[in-house]
Amino acid sequence: METSAILTWTLQQEIPIPADVTELLVEGEQAVASFATFRDSATFTTKRLIVRDAQGITGKKVEIYSLPYSAINMWSSENAGRLDWNAEIELWTRAGEIKVKLGKGADVRRLDSLIAWAVLGSR
């Protein structure tokens, strides 16, 4: 399976884990950390990355991406320091390449550490 275009997500500051994420979790899965996105949130769990993307003018329609850590083959981080406003992380997956841009307030080292924990700990 190949994604038609490179997916791009922008993560902002870390936020409390949204209450409605728990309904998406499977037995034994726990939410670890969440980040605000442009219109919703991205949550790292013990098994995957869940990105919720509100759609449309009202935001009532929600698209949910679920990226199992086992699908990530490699990643890279690019930044000029801890709170670089142009930092980004690239994930190479079985489905294609995903760019994660980091907005103001997102700590690239925290995200790099979460991805390393998730990918290397799940193998």
Q: Which domains does the chain have, with CATH numbers?
A: 7-121 (2.30.29)
75: CB partners within 8 A, 6+ apart = 89, 90, 91, 92, 115, 119
What separation, in Å, do the N-terminal and C-terminal C-alpha atoms of the chain show? 22
Q: Could you read off the pLDDT of 4-58 as tens digits, one per residue?
A: 456 788 898 899 999 889 999 999 999 999 999 887 899 999 999 999 887 766 6
Q: Could you read off the pLDDT of 43-82 as tens digits, one per residue?
A: 999 999 999 887 766 667 888 889 999 999 999 988 766 5
